[in-house]
Structure 1
């Protein structure tokens, strides 16, 4: 047996590797995506006042800071038995949408699209944002970056800082918005809207209208058919800050919905010795190893999952783009992993429209941004849709609201099983002749980038020992072999 390792992985947040095992005939035997870093915030926030947790949780990742901030803040509301006033919710939603725009823009233009704009087998020194600038023009990329900064500026105005927001307060928001700030926000919102429109049109031009890439979007090898989960509102439109978490099967049937602590009725988490990231799976299915299709235990999250579980978006331009995507694939659910990039582009537009609505809402300057806290309940669950997918923060506290226990299930963790399946399918598709070279190795990495990995966010539960062992399962969940020597 021969082993080939791709390390470090490129164009993602965090540190990981892909290990490929070849049989004696040089054919792909097994492929595993491994998370090799550890953060441990589930332990770090213990014995901390819950009102301080949002600011601490935001430091899990410099990219994902706003979503950990927001999920833990929502959990804090529950612990203090308080419902924020309407204006506070609008300010929270505004910050979240601005964060989405800057995050999705980075992922789309710097992480995902270089594979398509520069070419999947282009030299590594050309397959990056610099290569994108050479292909699309420096002025175009400069314009994209400037508009992304407009979204970051909105986060700064609302959160007090560009990174690691400081405006969290249980029951509301610690900072109201002035009339002068509203005028600036309205100008920034126009930049975001232009960026959203450009992103959708660029994806269609670069990928959908390209015969080779369009074929890739419909290539069944890259279908990872799992269950899907996302948050929807009362009209079954995609929701981000609050709503009902909806789960559908690989065939599109609704199999469950929940809010808050009810997530425990649906998901269990498995730790495996060869990764520092957990593997959530559906309790109703049970652990069956890394399989997709009928009987899969995994539940994918993120832009494509939200697309699949909903009837589209609450804003008109994004809804039109949604309908075009449904038409291209001939219906839902869509399982092709590269469709995550398309859904991500549509969400930039969706959030830009949301930002424009919120900054033009007359109530946005209401100074009554906080309600008084109530009795300490001792437990709170904050669930939001992060750019990468459903994010859960669950805390227990003592009577003084000091954290005694914490559980964080992040989008990359939810997608962990799906990623294992995706990289193996890519390896078999591109490399089953047993011939490896640096340019072709990127083709395996193309399969993890649609999931927009953040490995810093995904590594908080310690599996018990250093990763040393791989387990291989049959479809009925029976352990059939172990691969060692890492």
Structure 2
């Protein structure tokens, strides 16, 4: 018998932002509790107040250098609503979609090849010095080359539509501030077929891993949950840029469907817990115990009726067949879903590049001014909500952001505990490789921890002072 102890993984590696995991062991080295803690605080919901509505789509991107386009577009959609614009011009709509597909593509490629692939290719327990992108490039140079060039292609799409690869300015309230030149179009068309071929190979790589490791995938941080995403309003198809909200249970039953995203606050509630700066959303009608849900690539594969690009739709059907058409609850299957979305994005990019509307000159629409706007988009990591109110001087008076990683907070914590219990409990000696199993479960969600650390209402800061015997002698609490 040993003394109870706590193991800390700090920081969690190969994710965006700063977080740690604490694992509490009893006297027999059994896991009693394991949690993912978000230890950084960034108060964008507070300091965006007072800024002009025209500035918001540019400012909020500074939340993140990995998914700035997602925040840019979600904020722009909210400002469209405030500007009274319910329908963009064809050129503005398609330029924004092109920007978004480039963003989702490059982000998914970055995560799969650069962050997750070292675990999948070399094993979760491989030496730490082996689990990195440089070793992937060394052992599989062709795969490494594709990883770099595919991400480069997506970033160049962003640059052409937003003005810069990171923190661009392309989307403005009511539209877009540029179109796509013929020269840039032809440049992208020159390698689009190669991108599709590489994406098909990536889907096969992720699918083969999932199927060849069926037993591992089935038990590794996997559990039933609800799922939520946007789907296309007309037919329930996958739509990463716009749509209505759909939520399914773990057995595929509809919880709600085709609900306008402007009503999100009627559907979900954000819970606050003392040990994390990240909130815990749940579906209102189900309550906090049964109402938590997951978002992201696998959630979108579960909720979408079909995909409107042929190659991705065929791949989607294969994924769905793995579970007989009911939702797939396997956390590691997110990687397969992620590569299907890369294929879909490239197919949509090809479709848009051949659309003459991208060379249009009607870029901005106008409408009747409103005081409140809500913009929702499917970011690479899942559903992203931006909600703003402005006053008569065009200054922001209210901001609420619910980002993808926040939606997944409960799911990630359950995955952390599940993996810790299965792979650490009862072990006389816990190795770095064992601990990496816990990180692998977190990485499957591709979390963006920087994006997820915000405050709305009362977010307590609590400091507790303990004496040498472990008794608390003083405590101070401040709400910020």
Q: Scaled by the length of structure 2, what TM-score is found? A: 0.92
Write the distance in 1 (CA, Å) between the matches of 2:352 and 2:191.
12
Label 1:208 to 1:227 Cα distance change in 2 as closer, same or farther (>3 A).
closer
2:105·2:342 contact (CA, 8 Å) conserved in 1? Answer: yes
Structure 2: gaps (5+ residues): 466-474, 476-480
> How many residues are matched?
457
Write the distance in 2 (CA, Å) between the matches of 1:467 and 1:251.
43
Quick check: 1:225 aligned with 2:224?
Answer: yes
SS of equivalent to 1:355? helix
After superposition, residues 13-412 of structure 1 pair within 5 angstroms as 13-82=16-85, 83-136=87-140, 138-205=141-208, 207-208=209-210, 210=212, 213-219=213-219, 222-233=221-232, 234-257=234-257, 258-288=259-289, 296-372=290-366, 374-412=367-405
Write the distance in 2 (CA, Å) between the matches of 1:251 and 1:241.
26
Write the distance in 2 (CA, Å) between the matches of 1:34 and 1:468.
17
Write the distance in 1 (CA, Å) between the matches of 2:291 and 2:370.
33
Structure 1: gaps (5+ residues): 289-295, 470-483
SS of equivalent to 2:345? helix
Write the distance in 1 (CA, Å) between the matches of 2:142 and 2:195.
17
Label 1:11 to 1:140 Cα distance change in 2 as closer, same or farther (>3 A).
same
1:376·1:401 contact (CA, 8 Å) conserved in 2? Answer: no
Shift of 1:468: 7.0
Write the distance in 1 (CA, Å) between the matches of 2:142 and 2:313.
29
Write the distance in 2 (CA, Å) between the matches of 1:66 and 1:428.
37
Shift of 1:147: 2.3
User: Could you give the per-residue CA deviations for residues 46-80 of structure 1, whole angstroms, max 9, x where no partner exists?
Assistant: 10111110100111100010000000000000001
- Give the corresponding residue for 1:479: none
Write the distance in 2 (CA, Å) between the matches of 1:140 and 1:450.
20
Write the distance in 2 (CA, Å) between the matches of 1:188 and 1:73.
30
User: Could you give the per-residue CA deviations for residues 435-468 of structure 1, whole angstroms, max 9, x where no partner exists?
Assistant: 3111111011111111111001000116210587
Label 1:381 to 1:120 Cα distance change in 2 as closer, same or farther (>3 A).
same
- Give the corresponding residue for 1:422: 415
1:276·1:467 contact (CA, 8 Å) conserved in 2? Answer: no
2:210·2:333 contact (CA, 8 Å) conserved in 1? Answer: no
Shift of 1:198: 2.2
SS of equivalent to 1:332? coil
How much is the aligned-residue C-alpha RMSD, in angstroms?
Answer: 1.7
Write the distance in 2 (CA, Å) between the matches of 1:121 and 1:55.
41
Write the distance in 2 (CA, Å) between the matches of 1:312 and 1:283.
27
SS of equivalent to 2:337? helix
SS of equivalent to 2:331? coil
Shift of 1:297: 2.1
SS of equivalent to 2:79? helix
User: Could you give the per-residue CA deviations for residues 167-224 of structure 1, whole angstroms, max 9, x where no partner exists?
Assistant: 122111101222222212322533432332121122234x1353xx2321223x5322
2:106·2:154 contact (CA, 8 Å) conserved in 1? Answer: yes
SS of equivalent to 1:84? coil
Label 1:146 to 1:132 Cα distance change in 2 as closer, same or farther (>3 A).
same
Quick check: 1:458 aligned with 2:452?
Answer: yes
